[in-house]
Chains A and B, each alone.
Chain A
Amino acid sequence: MSATTLVKQQAGPRAAGPAPARRGRRRARLIALLFVFPALLLLGALVVYPVLFSVGRSFFDASGTRFVGGDNYAEMFRDPATLKAIRNTTIWVVVAPALLTGLGLILAVLVEKVRWATAFKLLLFMPMAVSFLAAGIIFRLAYDEDPDKGVLNAAVVSVHDAFKDPSAYPTARGRQGVLTQGRDGSYGTTAATGRTVTLPMVGVLPADLPRDAAPAHRAAAAGARPDELRGVVYLDFTPGGGGRQGVVDRRESGLPGMKVEAVRAGRTVASTTTAADGSFRFSGLDGGSYAVRLPAANFAAPYQGVSWLGPTLVTPAIIGAYLWIWTGFAMVLIGAGLSSLPRDALEAARMDGANEWQIFRRITVPLLAPVLTVVFVTLVINVMKVFDLVYIIAPGPVQEDATVLATQMWLVSFGGGNNQGLGSALGVLLLLLVIPAMVFNVRRFRRSQR
Chain B
Amino acid sequence: MRAMNAIRRGLANGLVQAFLVVIGLVWLTPLAGLFLSSLRSVQDTAKGGWWTALASPGRLSFDNYSALLKNSGMTQAFWNTVLISVPTTFLVVVIAALAGYAFAWLDFPFREPLFLLVVALLVVPVQIGLLPVAKLFGQLGLFGTIPGVVLFHVAYGLPFAVFLLRNYFAEMPKEMLEAARMDGGTEWRIFTRLVLPVGRPAIASLAIFQFLWVWNDMLVALLFADSSSQPLTVQLQSQIRQFGSNIDVLAPGAFLSLIVPVVVFFAFQRHFVQGVMAGSVK
Residues of A that sit less than 8 Å from B by CB: 1, 4-5, 7-8, 11, 25, 28-29, 31-33, 35-36, 38-40, 42-43, 45-51, 53-54, 57, 107, 110-111, 113-114, 120, 122-134, 136-142, 148-151, 154, 324, 329, 332-333, 336, 374-375, 377-378, 381, 384-385, 387-388, 391-392, 395-396, 406, 409-410, 413-414, 420, 423-424, 426-428, 430-431, 434, 437-438, 440-442, 444-446
Contacts and interface: CB of A to CB of B under 8 A. Distances in A.
B131 A111 contact: no
Given A138-B34, A430-B125, A336 B277 contact: yes
Given A131-B233, A151-B50, A332 B277 contact: yes
B236 A133 contact: yes
B266 to A, nearest CB: 8
B27 A39 contact: no
Contact of A430 (B27, B114, B127): B127
A231 to B, nearest CB: 35
Given A54-B132, A392-B237, A333 B281 contact: no
Contacts of A142: 29-30, 33
A51 B124 contact: yes
A154 B131 CA distance: 43
Given A141-B251, A154-B49, A46 B262 contact: no
A113 B16 contact: yes
B19 interface: yes
Given A36-B108, A42-B155, A131 B50 contact: no
Q: Chain A CB within 10 Å — which of B121, B132, B178 has the most?
A: B132
Interface in B77-108: 95-96, 98-99, 101-103, 106-108
Contacts of A45: 136, 155
25 contacts: A32-B108, A33-B102, A35-B191, A36-B103, A40-B99, A42-B155, A47-B121, A50-B129, A54-B132, A57-B132, A113-B13, A123-B28, A124-B27, A126-B262, A128-B276, A133-B254, A136-B240, A138-B31, A142-B29, A142-B30, A381-B281, A385-B127, A388-B219, A414-B130, A434-B123
Interface in B110-148: 114, 116-133, 136
A130 B125 contact: no
A139 B155 contact: no
A222 B266 CA distance: 70
B223 interface: yes
Interface stretch (B62-70, B156-164, B199-207): B156-164
Given A45-B155, A428-B128, 12 more contacts: A28-B187, A36-B102, A38-B95, A46-B155, A114-B20, A126-B265, A133-B257, A141-B37, A149-B48, A374-B281, A385-B126, A427-B127
B281 A140 contact: no
A430 B128 contact: yes
B118 A43 contact: yes
Contact of B175 (A4, A123, A154, A424): A4
Nearest to B233: A133
B27 A38 contact: no
Contacts of A47: 121, 124, 129, 155-156, 158-159
Contacts of A11: 182
Nearest to A143: B30
A392 B280 CA distance: 25
Contacts of B136: 45-46, 50
Contact of A42 (B95, B126, B179, B243): B95
A178 to B, nearest CB: 36
Contacts of B99: 35-36, 38-40
B110 to A, nearest CB: 10
Contacts of A132: 216, 218
Contact of A50 (B132, B262, B281): B132
B282 interface: yes
Contacts, number: 285
Contacts of A138: 30-31, 33-34, 254
A122 B48 CA distance: 31
Contacts of B130: 410, 413-414, 427
Nearest to B156: A47
A400 to B, nearest CB: 15
B269 interface: yes
A277 B101 CA distance: 85
Contact of A431 (B24, B124, B233): B124
A437 B102 contact: no
B278 to A, nearest CB: 11
A378 B123 CA distance: 10
Contacts of A444: 281
B20 A46 contact: no
B31 A381 contact: no
Contact of B125 (A53, A148, A151, A434): A434
Given A32-B108, A43-B121, A381-B281, A139 B30 contact: yes
A381 B160 CA distance: 14
B273 interface: yes
B247 A141 contact: yes
B24 to A, nearest CB: 6
B261 interface: yes
A138 B254 CA distance: 8
Nearest to A25: B107
A154 to B, nearest CB: 6
Contacts of A53: 131-132
B261 A129 contact: yes
Contacts of B162: 39
Contacts of B281: 374, 377-378, 381, 437, 440-441, 444
Given A130-B261, A333-B277, A35 B101 contact: yes
